[in-house]
Structure 1
Amino acid sequence: MEIDLIVEAKRIITLDPKRPTASLMGVFGGRIIGFDEELAGVTATRQDSFPNETLVPGFIDAHCHTTWWGLGLTAIQLDQARGLEELYAMIEAEADRLADDPNAWIHGTGFNQKHHGGQYPDIARLDEITGDRPLYLRHTSGHASITNTATLRMIGALEDGFENPVGGEVVRNADGTPTGLLDEAAQSLIQSMLLPYSSEEIARALDAATTRFAAEGITSFSEAGIGGGWIGHSPIEVAGYQLARASGRLHARAQLLPAIDSLDLLEGNASDFRGEGKGLATGLGIGTGFGSEWIRLGHVKAFMDGSLLGATAAVTEDYCGHDHNRGYLLNTPEKYREDVLAAYRAGWPVALHAIGDAGIDMALDLIEECQQTYGSNGAPSRVEHFGIARPDQVERAGRLRIVVTPQAGFIGPLGDQFVKNVGPERANWLYRGRSVVDAGAILAGSSDLPVADNNIRRGMQSAVDRLTENGMVLGPEEGISPEEALRSYTEWGAIGTGQIADKGTLERGKLADFVALSDSPLDCENIADLDVVATFVGGEPTFDSRS
């Protein structure tokens, strides 16, 4: 028998308890057909060898924003600026570059106030640089944007009687003049002037982004919010993914999480929608799991609260230095209950963004009611981020057997800021690891790109050592083992996205998605120091440093 590929390696870590390691693996039709002695007498069209490397299952990024990041690769990279004068110079240089097109937008991404002594850009200075040109600078958290007076005028924020949108705010000084900062859903006022992006623009962004994913060993990702709300890029966003795949520009498998705002209230037979006759769904009743091995629908995404960096995540105790500020829910509990239950009874497992502990309370209440009322929807429901989780919430997440996606990769670049905002008393509750695993919840690894980078090896090392940039160990009891860190970005990520039958471990019959690393992540000194040598999706290389 001749198969497509036999790959040999110094060590193959399968994460399958029936065969934990191997040295040979066979691939046919994009799937694994056997290991070692099972391949005796079998030949292959192609052979590949990694004599000094370790193969592991392909990395799964269970929560990221691929189109957003891909579109932002051509914007000003604000994270490189140190000090506001340097940031102003970058914006001025971009304005000069666009001088021949006075209507062109200036786009920037990755602003973090930590690089500027905690300060935000002065709107008067931005006006001086940009004049009447529209400006859109995105905060690294994704939960805030910065703009100029010309753009505020375009969106109507300077008009008498202007009202903030539900779940957002055009931030103003005490005298009522805007500062240029737009929090949360207020960003949609600017985005509505840019949307929708064309399918071709989305496909180009996906090409740029997933080419870089492959270099990080990422073979699958979950796009956390498409089609609606302030997180989506087009009401037909799936078409952009289909175009990218058809034209050879999608280099990792995509699971798409529709924003709950993108769903419509549909009516079916009286017996449909768990016997209630109507629910929130997509046209034709298409739902979770629909699609192919390359593009399929996943959970429905809904925002409970905001961000920790911007102190808009809903918490039960004041933020440090922000008396009487406990963030806020982005809608009313009644509206959340109406929409989330309507989506769940339509068959969607839900993925609820909740960073603050008050937001987590809301998310857990909704998930528990969904499960008790309607039973299981197959894939477990999720709490995205689980940022400031009290001990009772960790126990409850385990009891409900849900998925949580705290980003270990935040700990290094953002951990010190988080602690400053919540104080030492709550520091051990931040972006937990060990306690989540021990409670029996499913810990799915993710980057939340572009909030932090998607270097999965760095994320795994952070999950183990939990070191911040300033050398603090964030929650010393929350570190997990290197094997658990690997599982969080492979096996547990597959469970958390409802795809464990096809990926997450290297087993016969599963997709041949794997990564060749320069050494074993289980016993190396520092996982972050490992190199990605090659990445394979369906047995085909999407990245190969050797060539």
Structure 2
Amino acid sequence: MRIDRILGAAEIITLDPDRPTATRIGILDGRIVGFDEELDGLDAGVVEELGDAVLVPGFIDAHTHTTWWGLGLDAVDLSRARGLDELYALLRDEATRLAERPGHWIHGTGFNQKHHGGEHPDIRVLDEIAPDRPMYLRNTSGHQAITNSAALRLAGALDATYTDPEGGEIKRDAAGYPTGVLDEEAQGVIQHLLLPYSIERIVDALDTATARYASYGITGFTEAGVGGGWIGHSPIEIAAYQRAVREGRLHARGQLMPVLDVLHPVEGHADDAHGRGGGLGLDLGIGPGFGDDRLSIGPVKVFLDGSLLGATAAATEDFCGTPHNHGYLLSSADDFRERVDAAYRAGWSVAVHAIGDAAVDLAIELITDCTARYGRNALPNRIEHCGMARPEHLPLLAAAGIAVTPQASFTGPLGRQFMERVGPERTAWLYRARSFLDAGVVVAGSSDVPVADPVVLRALQALVDRRTDEGEVFGADAECLSPLDALRTYTVGSATATGTLAERGTLTPGKLADLVVLDGSPLTAPRIDELTVLATMVGGTYTHDVRDGGRADGAARP
């Protein structure tokens, strides 16, 4: 028998308990056929000896905003600025660059107030930099943005009749004039001026972003919100992903979460779920799981609250430094109960954004009530972020089979700010890891890119040592993971949470040949974040390869 490829390496870490390690792996038609002695006597079209390299299952980032990140890669990188004077200089340079391009906005991404003494840009200075050119600057949290008067004027937000949208606010000074800071749903006031993006531009963004994913060892990702709301980029956004697949420009497997806002009543036969009381869905009854192993529909994304960084997460107690403020839900609890029930009974599993502990309370209630009434749907239910989990939440999550996606990549750049927001009495609740696993909760590895860094090896290191950029332990030492458990979050955990463990997450015969080639073992390296991704393979084809003669631009090689 002749197979496509045999790879030999110093070690292959399979994460399959039936065969934890090997030194040779065989691939046929994009799938794993066997290991070591199982390959004896087989011929192969390509035989590669990778020397001292170590192979691990492909990394799966279970919560990303890939299009947003890709679109922002050509924006002004505000994360480089230290102090508002540096930030203003970057924006002035961009205004000069765009001087001969009328109608083009100034876009910035990665603003973090911690780099500016907790201050936000002064709208008067922004107006001086760009008096007639709209400006839109994204906060690293994704739950806040900054703009200038030109953009506010275009949006009608300076009109006397303007009112803030439910679940959002344009901040104002003592005289009632906007400061330029937009919280939560108020971002949509400006974003609607930019939407929809063209399919061509979204495909370009996906091409660029997923090529970078490949360089980080990412073979699969979940896009946490498409089609509408403040996170979507086009009502026909899925068409862009389909085109990217057709043109070979999607360099990782994608699972797409429609936002709850795009679901609508779909009538069916009286005996069908859609016909009993007006369930919510997509046209033609398309639902979670639709698609193939390259691109599929995931659960519906539900935004319950905001962010810790902006103090808009729904907490049970006030945030430190902001008296009488414990955040808020983005709509009423009854509204969420009604809409989530209507989606769930029509077959939609749910992925509920809940960061504050009050939002986690409601998320658990919504999911457990729906499963009690209608049973389990096809894909796992999830809580995205689960940023403040009280001890009593842990057994409830495990009993309900709810997967969680806390972001280890938040630890370095945002950990200190989060701890300052909640105070020492609640820091142990923040973005747990070990206590989730010990309670039997599925933990999926995720970055929330571009809110945080999508480099998986750095996230694995953060799971192991939980050190902020300032050198503190984020949350509690007791939440640190072993290197093995850290690796499992971005492989087995993410595959389980996305409902795809039968196809990926471990290197097992019959599963997809998605794997990463590293220059050392993440289980024994002194620092995981100092390892190098030498190559990435999706379905037996290289999407990234920096070995001799390889390519690092996401282009496939045989």
TM normalised by structure 1 equals 0.99
Alignment match, 1:399: 399
Offset of residue 173 of structure 1: 1.5
Residues 266 and 274 in structure 2, CA contact (< 8 A), matched pair in contact too: no
Give the Å deviation of 1:396: 1.4
Aligned residue number for residue 501 of structure 1: 502
How much does 1:194 deviate?
A: 0.7
What is the aligned partner in structure 2 of residue 334 from structure 1? 334
Letter in 2 for 1:491: V
Distance in 2 between residues matched to 1:487 and 1:50, nearest whole Å: 23
Q: Is the contact made by 2:65 and 2:448 (CA closer than 8 Å) also made in structure 1? A: yes
Query: Residue 510 of structure 1 aligns with which residue?
Result: 511
Match of 2:167 in 1: 167
Residue in 2 that maps onto 1:536: 537
CA drift of 1:100 comes to: 1.3
CA distance in 2, matches of 1:130, 1:189: 19
SS, match of residue 52 in structure 1: coil
- Is 1:545–2:546 an aligned residue pair? yes
Equivalent residue number for residue 77 of structure 1:
77
The aligned residue for residue 519 of structure 1 is: 520
- How far does residue 72 in structure 1 lie from its aligned partner after superposition? 0.2
- Give the deviation of 1:245 after TM superposition: 1.0
Residue equivalent to 2:491: 490
- For 2:277 and 2:27, the matched residues in 1 are separated by 45
Shift of 1:395: 2.2
Tell me the secondary structure at the aligned position of residue 14 of structure 2. Answer: strand
User: Are residue 128 (structure 1) and residue 128 (structure 2) matched?
Assistant: yes
Runs of 4+ with >3 A deviation: none
Looking at structure 1, the residues matched to 341 and 46 of structure 2 have their Cα atoms a distance apart, in angstroms, of: 50
Q: How does 1:72-111 map to 2 (within 5 A)?
A: 72-111=72-111
Task: Provide the secondary structure at the position in 2 that maps to 1:467.
Answer: coil
The corresponding residue for 2:6 is 6
Tell me, what secondary structure is at the counterpart of 1:189? Answer: helix
Distance in 2, matches of 1:115 and 1:275, equals: 53
How far apart are residue 378 of structure 1 and its match? Answer: 2.4
Given that residues 271 and 277 in structure 1 are in contact (C-alpha distance below 8 angstroms), is that contact kept between their aligned partners in structure 2? no
Mind listing any 5+ residue stretches in structure 2 that lack a counterpart? Answer: 551-558
- Which stretches in structure 1 are left out of the alignment for 5+ residues? none
| More divergent stretch after superposition (270-279 vs 96-105) | 270-279
CA distance in 1 between partners of 2:13 and 2:268 (Å)? 47
Tell me, yes or no, if the aligned pair for 1:272 and 1:278 is still in contact at 8 Å.
no
Read off the aligned partner of 1:333 and give its amino acid letter. Answer: A
**Pairwise CA distance, 1:274:** 7.3
Q: How does 1:258-269 map to 2 (within 5 A)?
A: 258-269=258-269
- Distance in 2 between residues matched to 1:454 and 1:263, nearest whole Å: 29
Shift of 1:102: 2.8
8 Å CA contact 2:288, 2:378 repeated in 1: no
C-alpha deviation, 1:267, in angstroms = 1.2
Moved more, 347-356 or 388-397: 388-397
Could you tell me which residue of structure 2 aligns to residue 242 of structure 1?
242
Q: Report the equivalent of 1:210.
A: 210
Instruction: Return the alpha-carbon distance in structure 2 between the equivalents of residues 14 and 493 of structure 1.
Output: 15
Q: Secondary structure at the match of 1:100?
A: coil
Deviation at 1:36, TM superposition (A): 0.8
Output the CA distance in 1 between the equivalents of 2:460 and 2:45: 35
Can you list the C-alpha shifts for 1:303-362, whole angstroms capped at 9, x where unaligned?
A: 000011010001111110100011110001111011111111111110000000011111
* TM-score, scaled to structure 2: 0.97
The match for 2:463 is: 463
Q: Is the 8 Å Cα contact of residues 3 and 45 (structure 2) preserved in structure 1?
A: yes
Q: Which residue of 2 aligns with 1:177?
A: 177
Query: Residue in 2 aligned with 1:289?
Result: 289
Q: 1:310 is aligned with what amino acid?
A: G
Q: Corresponding residue for 2:273?
A: 273
Deviations along 1:466-515, one digit per CA (max 9) or x if unpaired, are: 11111111211111111111110001100000001100000011000000
C-alpha contact (below 8 Å) 2:268/2:275 kept by paired residues: no
Three-state SS of the structure 2 residue aligned to 1:489 is: helix
Q: Write the distance in 2 (CA, Å) between the matches of 1:22 and 1:245.
A: 32
Distance 1:458 1:215 in 2: 13
Q: Distance in 2 between matches of 1:408 and 1:496?
A: 16
Judged with a 3 Å threshold, the aligned counterparts in structure 2 of structure 1 residues 274 and 104 are, in CA distance, closer, same or farther, namely closer
Question: 2:556 corresponds to which residue?
Answer: none
The 5-angstrom pairing of residues 21-420 of structure 1 reads 21-273=21-273, 276-420=276-420
Distance (Å, rounded) in 2 between the aligned partners of 1:103 and 1:512: 46
Asked if structure 1 preserves the Cα contact closer than 8 Å seen for 2:344 and 2:370, the reply is yes
On the 8 A contact 2:55/2:517 being kept in 1, the answer is yes
Asked whether the equivalents of residues 274 and 280 of structure 2 are also in contact (C-alpha less than 8 Å), the reply is no
Residue 58 of structure 1 contacts residue 219 of structure 1 at CA under 8 Å; is this kept in 2?
A: yes
For the Cα contact (< 8 Å) 1:513–1:537, is it kept in 2?
Answer: yes
How much does 1:207 deviate?
0.5
Question: C-alpha separation between the residues in 2 aligned to 1:31 and 1:342?
Answer: 38
> In the aligned structure 2, how far is the partner of 1:513 from the partner of 1:345?
34
- Cα deviation digits, residues 170-209 of structure 1 (max 9, x gap): 1111221110001001111111111111111110000000
Structure 1 residue 380, shift from structure 2 partner: 1.6
SS at structure 1 position matched to 2:504: coil
Letter aligned with residue 379 of structure 1:
L
Q: Distance in 2 between matches of 1:403 and 1:81?
A: 37
**Counterpart secondary structure, 2:51:** strand
Deviation sequence 1:347-384 (CA, Å, 0-9, x none): 11100000000111111110011110110012220000
CA distance in structure 1 between the aligned counterparts of 2:274 and 2:231, rounded to whole angstroms: 29
Aligned-partner SS, 1:543: strand
Query: Is contact 2:306-2:312 (8 Å) kept?
Result: yes
Deviation at 1:398, TM superposition (A): 1.4
Local SS of the residue matching 1:89: helix
**Quick one: percent identity of the two aligned structures?**
58
The aligned counterpart of 1:17 is: 17
Q: Quote the Cα distance in structure 1 between the aligned partners of 2:208 and 2:472.
A: 35
Question: Per-residue deviation at 1:275?
Answer: 6.8
Q: Is contact 1:254-1:295 (8 Å) kept?
A: yes
Greater alpha carbon shift after TM alignment, 101-110 vs 203-212:
101-110
Q: In the alignment, is the contact (CA less than 8 A) between 1:399 and 1:439 conserved in 2? A: no
Task: State the AA in 2 paired with 1:107.
Answer: H
Q: Following the alignment from structure 2 to structure 1, what is the Cα–Cα distance between the partners of residues 146 and 497?
A: 34
- Cα distance in 2 for partners of 1:357, 1:161 equals 35
Deviates more, 1:48-57 or 1:115-124: 48-57
Deviations 1:395-414 (A, max 9, x none): 21112121000101111111
Distance in 2 between residues matched to 1:101 and 1:468, nearest whole Å:
41
Q: Deviations over 1:278-300 (max 9, x none)?
A: 21111100111111211100111
SS of residue paired to 2:543 = strand
Distance in 2, Cα, partners of 1:96 & 1:58: 43
Looking at structure 2, the residues matched to 187 and 50 of structure 1 have their Cα atoms a distance apart, in angstroms, of: 49
1:247 to partner: Cα distance: 1.0
**What letter is aligned with 2:134?**
P
What amino acid sits opposite 2:406 in the alignment?
P
Partner of 1:445: 445
Instruction: Give secondary structure in 2 for the equivalent of 1:241.
Output: helix
- Which shows bigger deviation, 266-275 or 241-250? 266-275
The answer for the alignment partner of 2:555 in structure 1 is: none
Contact 1:305 1:313 (8 Å CA) reproduced: yes
Counterpart amino acid of residue 546 in structure 2: S
* Separation of aligned partners in 2, 1:478 and 1:264: 41
